[in-house]
């Protein structure tokens, strides 16, 4: 389940990634049975594109990616979503590719301890958000 909580999502991402989150942004929490297992920051929102920064404890599933894509396409009416993922997080790279995202490049030293890979998902190219096809 996804729910909005800007202050808590910001605090989680800032602590986990050792970065400062600047406004404007929206913060989402990923929950299962009332337990928070991840946080998402949506920023650089242009009414066509939005960037997602994600941290998760434990296993991040394709259902999580699908739910976030649905939120961005259906709720925010975006035409594309840009996922920013640590280079070292190969599991999430594979999940995003299965969802239909394309690798778009590397932001070198995007985090103090890692590079950030950029993946783009277009509304017209996505594979698993059935409600949009």
pLDDT per position as a tens digit, 42-76: 988 888 999 998 888 777 788 888 889 988 998 88
- Give residue 91's pLDDT: 86
Q: pLDDT, tens digit, for every residue of 81-94?
A: 999 988 988 888 99
CATH topology for the 2-132 domain: Aminopeptidase (3.40.630)
pLDDT at 132 over 70: no
Whole-angstrom Cα distance, residue 71 to residue 76? Answer: 7
- With CA atoms as reference, report the closest residue to 52 among 118, 126, 97: 118
- With CA atoms as reference, report the closest residue to 131 among 35, 52, 67: 67
């Amino acid at each position: 389940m996804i729910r909005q909580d800007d202050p808590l999502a910001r605090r989680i991402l800032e602590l986990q990634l050792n970065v400062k989150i600047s406004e404007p942004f929206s913060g989402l929490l990923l929950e299962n049975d009332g337990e928070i297992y991840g946080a998402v920051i949506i920023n650089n929102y242009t009414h066509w594109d939005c960037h997602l920064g994600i941290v998760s404890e434990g296993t991040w599933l394709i259902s999580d990616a699908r739910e976030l894509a649905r939120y961005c396409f259906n709720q925010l009416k975006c035409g594309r979503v840009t996922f920013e993922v640590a280079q070292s997080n190969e599991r999430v790279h594979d999940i995003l590719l299965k969802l239909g995202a394309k690798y778009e490049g590397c932001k070198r030293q995007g985090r103090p301890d890692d590079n950030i890979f950029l993946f783009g998902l277009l509304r017209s190219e996505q594979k698993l958000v059935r409600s949009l096809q």
